[in-house]
Structure 1
Amino acid sequence: MTEQLYSKILGNDGAPLLILHGFLGMSDNWKTLGAAYAENGFATHLIDQRNHGRSFHNPAFDYQILSEDLLRYADDHRLEKINIIGHSMGGKTAMTFATAYPERVSKLLVADISPKRYPPHHQQIIKGLQAVDLDRVTSRGDADQMLSKYIDHPGIRQFLLKNLHRKGGDNFGFRFNLEVLANRMEEIGAALSPENTYAGDTLFLKGDKSDYIKQDDEQLIRRHFPKATIKAIPNAGHWLHAENPKAFLAESLDFLQN
């Protein structure tokens, strides 16, 4: 039997909207915005991608495989046509899915990532997570202290430590599959194949303080996605949906509802 992706579904009526988190994230990161989409008439599926959140762990990991997971999910939930929001790594999955199965996508929204290759740049985060001695962790504070030797930014540590959970008794573990993700760093930044295109409605939202989508990337974006609109969310970096959720919600609803 094929393993299923974990999801949280908010709202049963309306057009299906599938939301894909970024690297080392999980569906919970989107629950506030997910509730807002549900209130605005979307059956909202917050999905944990493989090796993340509460979904299964598996050593096979690239964007083709992640998009096939999404296809199985849509089939299992009898979702013929879907809207997709994907942030960062989730945006790469969403782009791959839309170009592979264009007939299954109504609208595509990509948050702060472009189709280009990104060199591995999470090495310090991975190093820090690998340095967390889970056998010695008795609280989130312990893990935070261990992580702080590698990551100065408390907000990033807080984001990562949302993945810390009690496995039973006093034992802690991470929800993500650190071993596989550390070994597949090249895959995280992989480019969309040059021949992959999607001719449907597409919106790229970027943080105005982020450098993930540069001016030079716009030509490449439109080569893959000829109907793409590219807009900036003010006062936001790479985690634009968390840093300016009000503007992100307004822009995304304007796109999804019209």
Structure 2
Amino acid sequence: MSIDLHFTDSGGGGTPLVVVHGLLGSADNWRSHLKQWQRRHRVIAVDLRNHGRSPHVAGMGYEAMAEDILALLDRLAVASVHLLGHSMGGKVAISLARLAPSRVASLIVADIAPISYGHDHDRVFAALRRVEAGKPTNRREADVLLAEHVEESAVRLFLATNLERDDEGILRLRIGLDEIQEDYETIMGEPAGEGAYEGPTLVLRGTHSPYVTDEMLPVLREVLPRAEIETLEAGHWLHAEQPQAFQAAVNAFLERVEA
């Protein structure tokens, strides 16, 4: 059963651009990009289940997460969209494109391939659990707790976007961490659906990221045969590390698709 996702909608005409964040992210992380895209498009940004301001529910399967977005598009009476997803959100986007190709006018996948990956979030989960137990009352305290498990300041800043202050002044996690960890194997697995999405596709990858290597491209092209591959000088968070290049690549692709 689908759930009612939290979302933002800029309004306007034309085919909307739907933006789907990655694991432990939210629509808030894309705020600066959304402002730019809203100059040209109607932009809808979602918080996936167990993320941001959306409900916490059991199950992180890709078919279920795709169905959540399809249900939102139905409520908004949107027939088809340009669909952009980063990381886990890219797998959600691929799943939706395979399950309901008529609803996806074009697909943009940021630094993820349609394959299974190994475990690489253990220290991140440990850091979030440390914050949960430590009950910080300010951002500095939260950062000290996160730093016990995560050295990179940029990663700690990203994780801290999941904190919000409760009525007692304590910074609490707003994500469904229990639900995410319980279904982590599914998150790291392959997207849902079968066969290929035959629509226009852009795959953006980072030169310093291990998520879309040359060795993965044959499998990627089986699922996304029309994929244009563009590589940015960045790591996995390429939209944050190279925002202007990321914007330019997405805008140029959408202009070609809509021409």
Superposition TM-score tier, normalisation by shorter sequence:
over 0.9
Structure 2 match to 1:155 = 154
Q: Distance in 2 between matches of 1:64 and 1:193?
A: 5
RMSD: 1.5
CA contact under 8 A between 1:17 and 1:44: conserved in structure 2? yes
More deviation in 194-203 or 105-114? 194-203
Structure 2 match to 1:26 = 26
What TM-score, normalized to structure 2?
Answer: 0.95
Structure 1 match to 2:191 = 192
- Are the structure 2 counterparts of residues 59 and 85 from structure 1 closer, same or farther at C-alpha, using a change threshold of 3 Å? same
User: SS state of the match for residue 137, structure 1?
Assistant: coil
- Are the structure 2 counterparts of residues 110 and 2 from structure 1 closer, same or farther at C-alpha, using a change threshold of 3 Å? closer
CA contact under 8 A between 1:199 and 1:227: conserved in structure 2? yes
CA contact under 8 A between 2:131 and 2:146: conserved in structure 1? yes
* Aligned AA (1:107): S
Cα offset, 1:192, TM superposition? 3.1
Structure 2 match to 1:230 = 229
More deviation in 76-85 or 130-139? 130-139
Q: Distance in 2 between matches of 1:172 and 1:71?
A: 33
Q: Percent identity?
A: 35
CA contact under 8 A between 2:164 and 2:172: conserved in structure 1? yes
More deviation in 157-166 or 136-145? 136-145
More deviation in 194-203 or 104-113? 194-203
Can you list the C-alpha shifts for 1:19-40, whole angstroms capped at 9, x where unaligned? 0000000001111111111112
In the TM superposition, what are the counterparts of 1:1-258 in structure 2 within 5 Å?
Answer: 3-40=3-40, 42-134=41-133, 136-192=135-191, 195-234=194-233, 236-258=234-256
Cα offset, 1:76, TM superposition? 0.6
* Aligned AA (1:38): Q
Structure 2 residues without counterparts, runs of 5 or longer: none
Q: Distance in 1 between matches of 2:171 and 2:102?
A: 43
Cα offset, 1:10, TM superposition? 2.4
* Aligned AA (2:162): N
CA contact under 8 A between 1:112 and 1:207: conserved in structure 2? yes
Q: Distance in 1 between matches of 2:68 and 2:118?
A: 25
Q: Distance in 2 between matches of 1:227 and 1:205?
A: 13
Structure 1 residues without counterparts, runs of 5 or longer: none
Cα offset, 1:216, TM superposition? 1.1
- Are the structure 2 counterparts of residues 190 and 81 from structure 1 closer, same or farther at C-alpha, using a change threshold of 3 Å? same
